[in-house]
């Protein structure tokens, strides 16, 4: 464990005016309250907060952040309280410690809805004070460095969480060194064989070709000396995980992979950056499409550098990054450079961004209401790189890599995005799904009355655009769903001899804790609430009577009194079809249609077969069948399909889009039917509809019975 005087010395190296006495008192307080606590490795627990503080000194952070690191687990794991920490070390430190404690309690790898809510809290904490995240990242880094002492299942959980959340967050903040180390540590846990394989290949390559990094570094220095440019040159092989990711993305073997070496040139001033670029391109052939100028168009986290890839010695591709010393400091520290100290004063780095503005820029597009949408948008924002495009007036619009003209339109204004009909890129009309490139000029063409289309969801990449399109579609669909829901409700009520009056619907909505009858009808029309359930809410006795002709609990003949049964999900048999039962351990008897492909695998086990028949009589419409539909992608078609099914007195229990094309949709519709005759009526009605290209039953032999 690092001694308190050694820690103070680390801080004094970059901040001679640091409050050494306060750091010593925080060290002593943390040591006292954590006394008797130990890590999984057997070390005293306080060695962990001290190590976290030491990591933060490498980023030259202020006293409050260092002290927070020393105390970051005190409120959570000891008898220390918020008020006590505030009294001893001030409100600023207490707020930061409390913020880190709340982040520690977030289970970021939990269920979708819980994870989305926790991400909201994560970004809220970032907006209050970004230093909370800096401490949390350093905390995670040290935990990953010492992860071997944990149980294997815990190691895997922490490693996945690190790869999915903390590593990309560090990268988004511009702390590339931390991102790379977190990824490598997670990779070591999740796929040690692959990591070791890549390391072995590097060793073999070095043995065969010599020290390639040293040779190329020497070549670059020779060229810079010849041009009389003062600069530092650093080279290295890329991290194993970075190499592995390239192999997976490009589906290449290690031997066919290029640019596995990276070089960094640190110049005296900005003008020299461009001089160095000229020298590099004159000496080696530039690889087309691999040049980026982040000096003239910086990233939102303050990152500035020139990136180029060239064919270097022996034809090997190498990536070269060119930047000034100040740019390099921001590239290493990212947003954290805002708090960096040097010689006792806040470092005056002109490229360090204001954290508050950075967080605002990061979160301004994360306005999705739905949990899944929000989670998707967060991960899009965390993983993106930047593309810079120009408006017709010369304004620069920043977009993530892979963005389309539609993303561009929504980045300008939601109203423009919603009314987009086409786009011009560099003066040439292009499809809306075109992927934009750096430096292109984009012009959006709009029209009154234009509305977003469902297919746009697959075209756009930004969270802002996706959320705006979904919001517009919900508003547009609501009127259609209300109309469809009224028809489905009318049919369901008439089935039991009642009328779906506004008063009846209002009463049902109140009982079901929904807003009003309009909200209820919209949910019926969108298949969120079955119309039969609404009728059952108001008239349970009528619904029960209408289904009493055949006992829904025992609709088949041939079972013994102690045997339970269930319909096979693989073939979804319905009354009227020939059936057979198969006994399964722990499941009772599963009913299969006689032509179910699963039965062929069981021919050698006749002892498991049970002769079954459906009970004669009228069955309740509780037998779900999946229909595979291909329909035209035109306005109103989906509504007519749902109306047709409702007219056959059938309920839609679920709906899932399988494929969306500009001209056709393919979807799976789960319909509740009485028997095979009822199913035949529904399918005949759908086949007669001109906008239905195909209709069939969806049967899945791979699905477990």
What are the sequence ranges of the domains in the chain?
Answer: 4-189, 194-346, 471-546, 554-705
Establish how many alpha carbons lie within 13 A of residue 183's alpha carbon, considering only the half-sphere containing its beta carbon: 19
Place of tokens 């690190």: 162
DSSP H/E element including 587: none
Query: What pLDDT, in 10s, does the model give residues 28-65?
Result: 999 999 988 888 888 898 999 999 999 999 888 889 99
- Contact between residue 616 and residue 565 where contact means Cβ atoms under 8 Å apart: no
Place of tokens 């620069």: 396
Region of 513 (left: φ > 0; alpha: ψ -120 to 50; beta: rest) is left
Closest CA to 138 of 64, 58, 226, 28: 58
Residue 603 structure tokens: 């021919």
Looking at residue 356, its pLDDT comes to 64
Query: What pLDDT, in 10s, does the model give residues 471-496?
Result: 787 777 677 778 777 877 887 787 77
DSSP H/E element including 147: none
* 347 vs 160: CA distance, rounded Å: 35
CATH 3.30.460.10 fits domain 194-346:
yes
Closest CA to 484 of 680, 696, 655: 655
Name the CATH topology of 4-189.
Hypothetical protein af1432 (1.10.3210)
* 270 vs 322: CA distance, rounded Å: 9
* 698 vs 36: CA distance, rounded Å: 62
Looking at residue 404, its pLDDT comes to 92
Nearest-5° angle of CA 66, CA 67, CA 72? 100
- Which residues in the chain come in under a pLDDT of 70? 105-127, 208-210, 248-259, 312-315, 338-349, 353-386, 477, 526-528, 541, 543-553, 617-618, 621, 702-705
Strands 317-324 and 261-267 turn out to be: parallel
Residue 71 structure tokens: 């105390």
Residues 6+ apart with CB under 8 A from 477: 526
Rounded percentage of the chain residues whose pLDDT exceeds 70: 83
Looking at residue 125, its pLDDT comes to 61
* 73 vs 65: CA distance, rounded Å: 14
Residues serving a catalytic function are 76-77
Q: What are phi and psi of 488, to 5 degrees?
A: -65, -40
User: Do the domains spanning 4-189 and 554-705 agree at the CATH topology level?
Assistant: no
Q: State how far the alpha carbon of 626 is from the alpha carbons of 159, 539, 571, in Å.
A: 39, 28, 9
* 177 vs 171: CA distance, rounded Å: 8
Residue 294 structure tokens: 């982040």
Residue 616 DSSP label: S
- Contact between residue 592 and residue 580 where contact means Cβ atoms under 8 Å apart: yes
Count the neighbouring beta carbons within 10 Å of the beta carbon of residue 190. 16
Looking at residue 545, its pLDDT comes to 45
Residues 6+ apart with CB under 8 A from 250: 257
Closest CA to 327 of 345, 308, 350: 350
Residue 673 structure tokens: 């039917």
Nearest-5° angle of CA 24, CA 30, CA 34? 150
CATH number for the segment(s) 554-705 = 3.30.70.260
Helix axes 63-71, 47-57, angle to 10 degrees: 160
Place of tokens 């994870």: 115
Closest CA to 338 of 325, 324, 348, 328: 348
Closest CA to 440 of 455, 448, 430, 450: 430
Closest CA to 302 of 319, 326, 285: 326
pTM of the model: 0.55
Residue 267 DSSP label: E
Looking at residue 259, its pLDDT comes to 61
């Amino acid at each position: 464990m690092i001694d308190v005087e050694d820690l103070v010395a680390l801080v004094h190296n970059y901040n001679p005016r640091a409050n050494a006495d306060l750091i010593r008192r925080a060290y002593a307080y943390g040591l006292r309250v954590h006394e008797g606590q130990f890590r999984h490795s057997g070390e005293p627990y306080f060695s962990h907060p001290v190590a976290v503080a030491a990591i933060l000194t490498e980023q030259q952070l202020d006293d409050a952040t260092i002290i927070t690191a020393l105390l970051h687990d005190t409120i959570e794991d000891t008898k220390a309280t918020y008020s006590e920490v505030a009294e001893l070390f001030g409100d600023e430190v207490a707020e930061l410690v409390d913020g880190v404690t709340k982040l520690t309690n977030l289970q970021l790898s939990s269920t979708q809805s819980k994870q989305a809510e926790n991400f909201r809290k994560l970004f809220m904490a970032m907006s209050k004070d970004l230093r909370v995240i800096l401490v949390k990242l350093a905390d995670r880094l040290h935990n990953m460095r010492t992860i071997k002492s944990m149980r294997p299942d815990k190691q895997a959980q922490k490693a996945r969480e690190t790869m999915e959340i903390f590593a990309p967050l560090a990268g988004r903040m511009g702390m590339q060194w931390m991102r790379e180390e977190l990824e490598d540590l997670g990779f070591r846990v999740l796929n040690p064989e692959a990591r070791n394989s890549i390391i072995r290949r590097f060793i073999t390559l070095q043995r065969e070709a010599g020290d390639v990094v040293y040779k190329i570094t020497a070549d670059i220095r020779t060229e810079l000396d010849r041009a009389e440019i003062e600069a530092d040159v650093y080279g290295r092989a890329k991290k194993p995980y970075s190499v592995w990711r390239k192999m997976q993305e490009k589906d290449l073997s290690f031997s066919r992979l290029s640019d596995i070496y990276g070089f960094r040139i640190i110049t005296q001033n900005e003008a020299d950056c461009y001089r160095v670029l000229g020298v590099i391109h004159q000496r080696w052939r530039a690889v087309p499409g691999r040049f980026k100028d982040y000096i003239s168009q910086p990233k939102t986290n303050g990152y500035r550098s020139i990136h180029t890839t060239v064919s270097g010695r022996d034809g090997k591709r190498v990536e070269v990054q060119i930047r000034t010393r100040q740019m390099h400091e921001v590239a290493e520290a990212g947003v954290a450079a805002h708090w960096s100290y040097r010689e006792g004063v806040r470092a005056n780095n002109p490229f360090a961004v204001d954290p508050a503005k950075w967080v605002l820029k990061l979160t301004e597009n994360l306005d999705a209401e739905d949990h899944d949408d929000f989670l998707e948008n967060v991960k899009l924002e965390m993983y993106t790189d930047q593309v810079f495009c120009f408006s017709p007036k010369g304004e620069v619009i920043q977009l993530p890599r892979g963005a389309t003209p539609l993303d561009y339109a929504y980045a300008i204004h939601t109203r423009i995005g919603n009314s987009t009909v086409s786009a011009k890129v560099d003066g040439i009309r292009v499809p809306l799904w075109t992927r934009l490139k750096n430096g292109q000029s984009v012009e959006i063409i709009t029209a009154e009355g234009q509305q977003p289309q469902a297919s746009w969801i697959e075209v756009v990449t930004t969270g802002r655009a996706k959320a705006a399109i979904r919001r517009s579609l919900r508003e547009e669909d609501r009127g259609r769903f209300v109309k469809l829901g009224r028809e489905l409700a009318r049919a369901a009520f008439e089935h039991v001899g009642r009328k779906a009056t506004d008063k009846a619907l209002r009463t049902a909505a109140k009982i079901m804790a929904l807003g009003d009858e309009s909200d209820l009808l919209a949910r019926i029309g969108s298949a969120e609430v079955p119309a039969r359930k609404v009728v059952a809410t108001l008239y349970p006795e009528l619904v029960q009577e209408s289904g009493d002709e055949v006992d829904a609990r025992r609709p088949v003949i041939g079972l013994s009194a102690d045997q339970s049964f269930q319909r096979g999900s693989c073939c979804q048999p319905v009354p009227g079809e020939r059936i057979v039962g198969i006994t399964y351990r722990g499941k009772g008897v599963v009913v299969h249609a006689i032509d179910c492909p699963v039965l062929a695998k069981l021919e050698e086990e006749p002892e498991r077969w049970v002769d079954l028949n459906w009970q004669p009589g009228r069955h309740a419409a509780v037998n779900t069948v999946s229909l595979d539909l291909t329909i035209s992608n035109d306005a109103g078609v989906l509504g007519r399909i749902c109306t047709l099914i409702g007219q056959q007195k059938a309920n839609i229990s679920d709906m899932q889009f399988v494929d969306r094309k500009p001209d056709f949709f393919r979807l799976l519709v789960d319909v509740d039917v009485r028997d095979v005759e009822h199913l035949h009526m529904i399918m005949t009605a759908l086949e007669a509809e001109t906008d239905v290209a195909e209709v069939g039953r969806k049967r899945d032999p791979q699905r477990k019975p």
